[in-house]
Amino acid sequence: MKIPEILIVETVHQPGSLAKVLQVIADTGLTIQHLSAVRRVPGHTLWEITLEMDEQANSDLYERIDQLPNARFIGKSDRVFNRHRGGKIRTVASLPINTQQTLRDVYTPGVARVCLAIRQNPALAHEFTSIDSTVAVITNGTAILGLGNIGPLAGLPVMEGKAALFADLVGLSAVPILLEETRPEKIVELISGIHLSFGAIQLEDFAAPECFQIEAQLRERLGKPVMHDDQHGTAVVALAALINAARRAGRSLTESTVGQIGLGAAGTGIVRLLRAYGVTRVLGADRNPEAIERIRSLGAEGASLEEILQRADIVVATTGVKDLIRPQWIRPGQVILALSNPDPEIEPHVAREHGAAFAADGKGINNVLAFPGLFKGALAAKATHFTDAMLMAAAQTLAEIAPLTQEDALVPDPLDKSVHERVAAAVQAAYRP
């Protein structure tokens, strides 16, 4: 699979030196994600060139760069590793502890007064602890990104990344928790045993179909917001993108036939939310018969890949299979969202060349737009669970504030913190006890 690689290349200060390097990269079929000058010395410039590449498939790239007369391949940058060094999150005090009296107030003996008050009235924990601003981010590592079952420890950088985004985007504290357990009933017991420390639970990168059982049982038992982000966070952002994609193609989303290819956690979550939103005709394709039965219980219809391309006005794909959708299958006027990363089921420009009214991939349709605001809104509302109304409010808000002046921008910029605040406000307002 393609993963980010950061090449360090030195070029001579002569016209066209860098351009020749970039042309070699283009000839290999790769797209440059980022380019920056690291250092300039007399006669030479050192560049960092960020690519998404498969080292096996593109194994001759470094040699081809070295063959250029005015450039040489130096090696790879450790920039990504350096940004992970020592971890990406910290626990910090919310007030300065710089006097003996403060120490006695926040720790022993003063803290005993607060402990006894909470024992007498547990509701006071919401006022005098960090519960209402703390989320557990929990995984067992069975479905990490597009990497699969790599185990919980290898998934920790992803969980830390989620926690860092919670902190930076909406000011929530999040604690990564790794479970060495795959049995759903045992996972439910483990999480139920620690949930009192947290105001909400985010389940992350649990494989299907176990993820459905785990989430359902925890929602029933805990009485606090529980969300499997791969299902519902992805579905919220996909729905926002579909609202705008249908609008750009001159279609009504609710009156269109929508086909979902791939019915894992993300695909099933998208089908479920589309049905809740009011889309009456939803088709789903998957190799697993149990996945088809699952969406039938949601009011959707099972179909083959070919049938979806033949019948659906809007096609969404979340399979992880590169080039799954053949260009000749595209019908004029279709909307195609091929959301697998890093390699989509069909490149958007190829889909458009073969008649699609609109096409996009998953590079900008990322659940980071959903989960920070969803959890902040749910905690602010003191919600006991997430509702479909809250999810749809988040999706509608994202659709409304997307910069539609940009041709391919179906959703807003995830680094715009005002986006997450607006999502949180909409989610809070949508909750009904």
Q: Per-residue pLDDT for 286 more than 80?
A: yes
Model confidence at 134, in pLDDT bands (50, 70, 90)?
very high
> Is the domain of 250 the same as that of 390?
yes
Q: Is residue 212 part of a domain?
A: yes
Q: Is residue 152 part of a domain?
A: yes
Q: Is residue 378 part of a domain?
A: yes
**Number of neighbouring beta carbons within 10 Å of residue 305:** 21
Query: Which tokens is 377 given?
Result: 């809104």
> Is the domain of 329 the same as that of 433?
yes
> Is the domain of 220 the same as that of 240?
no
Provide the whole-model pTM: 0.90
**Total domains, the chain:** 3
Query: Can you give the pLDDT at residue 146?
Result: 78
> Is the domain of 293 the same as that of 419?
yes
CATH (domain of 17): 3.30.70.260
Q: Is residue 10 part of a domain?
A: yes
Cβ–Cβ under 8 Å, residues 399 and 244: yes
> Is the domain of 243 the same as that of 273?
yes
Range with the poorest average pLDDT among 98-102, 157-161, 295-299, 408-412: 408-412
Options 88, 162, 224, 376, the catalytic residue: 162
pLDDT tens per residue across span 307-329: 999 999 999 999 989 999 999 99
pLDDT tens per residue across span 355-374: 999 999 988 788 999 999 99
Last residue of a domain, one of 224, 254, 287: 224
Q: Is residue 340 part of a domain?
A: yes
Q: Is residue 106 part of a domain?
A: no
> Is the domain of 363 the same as that of 241?
yes
Active site residue 431: no
The kind and range of the H/E element at 116 are helix 111-120
Model confidence at 145, in pLDDT bands (50, 70, 90)?
confident
* Average pLDDT value for residue range 198-225: 97
Q: Is residue 103 part of a domain?
A: no
Q: Which of these, 209, 210, 207, lies nearest to 289 by C-alpha position?
A: 209
> Is the domain of 335 the same as that of 274?
yes
Residues 120, 85: Cα–Cα separation, whole Å: 44
CATH (domain of 204): 3.40.50.10380
Cβ–Cβ under 8 Å, residues 29 and 54: no
Last residue of a domain, one of 194, 224, 254: 224
Q: Which of these, 245, 244, 271, lies nearest to 260 by C-alpha position?
A: 271
Q: Which of these, 246, 243, 263, 269, lies nearest to 374 by C-alpha position?
A: 269
Model confidence at 149, in pLDDT bands (50, 70, 90)?
very high
> Is the domain of 214 the same as that of 299?
no
CATH (domain of 361): 3.40.50.720
> Is the domain of 59 the same as that of 140?
no
Cβ–Cβ under 8 Å, residues 195 and 175: no
> Is the domain of 290 the same as that of 208?
no
Which residues constitute the domain of residue 209?
130-224
Model confidence at 408, in pLDDT bands (50, 70, 90)?
low
Query: Can you give the pLDDT at residue 221?
Result: 97
Local structure of residue 263 (DSSP, 8 states): -
> Is the domain of 391 the same as that of 279?
yes
378-407 in b/e form (b: 16+ CB < 10 A) is: bbbbebebbbeebbbbbbbbbbebbeeeee
- Chain-wide mean pLDDT for the chain? 94
Q: Per-residue pLDDT for 188 more than 80?
A: yes
Q: Per-residue pLDDT for 406 more than 70?
A: no
141-161 in b/e form (b: 16+ CB < 10 A) is: bbbbbeeeeeebeebbbbbbb
Q: Is residue 415 part of a domain?
A: yes
**Number of neighbouring beta carbons within 10 Å of residue 306:** 11
Last residue of a domain, one of 172, 197, 224: 224
> Is the domain of 257 the same as that of 143?
no
